[in-house]
Amino acid sequence: MAILWLMVVVLGLTIPVLAMLLKGVLGAAKSITPTVGAISGVAAAASTDLDAVIELVTTQNYISQVVAGLANYGGSLAVALPDA
């Protein structure tokens, strides 16, 4: 009989501890959800910001044209100006 009462006491003490631990786990899991949502929003915004990256190809073409023009200009200067 004494053992049975001892078990009752142990179980009675276990229940609040278990409830506290489970509540902590649930709280931690719930705190992750909005963070993931925020990360998703930031990733979407970053992805939208990167839509203009494709314009770099146009920039590359322009730079090639500018450098080609500079080379032609340098060629003219090489002919027009005397060497040192």
Partner 1 sequence: MELPVAIIILFVTLIVLLLAVYLLATIVELLKINAGLDEVLGKVGEIATKTAPVNGVLDAVNTTLVAGRNLLEGLFYQKAGPDAAGLVESAFPGEGPRFLQRIGRAGTVVPIGEEYPRGAAILNSLLGVAPAPAAPAPAAPAASGGRITLRGRSAPSATVVEEPSIPGRLSAKGSRPWER
Binding flag, residue 11, partner 1 (CB under 8 A) = yes
Burial string for 15-27 (b: 16+ CB within 10 Å, else e) reads eeeeeeeeeeeee
Indicate the DSSP class of residue 84.
Answer: -
Does residue number 50 form part of the binding site for partner 1 (CB under 8 A)? yes
Tokens of 72: 């032609």
> Should residue 18 be labelled a site residue for partner 1 when binding is judged by CB under 8 A?
yes
Say how many residues make up the chain. 84
The token duo for 67 is 């450098």
Q: How far is the CB of 63 from partner 1 (least distance, A)?
A: 5
- Judged by the rule CB under 8 A, the positions of this chain that interact with partner 1 are 1, 4-5, 7-8, 11-12, 14-15, 18-19, 22-23, 25-26, 29-30, 32-33, 36-37, 39-40, 43-44, 46-47, 50-51, 53-54, 56-57, 59-60, 63-64, 66-67, 70-71, 74, 77-78, 80-84
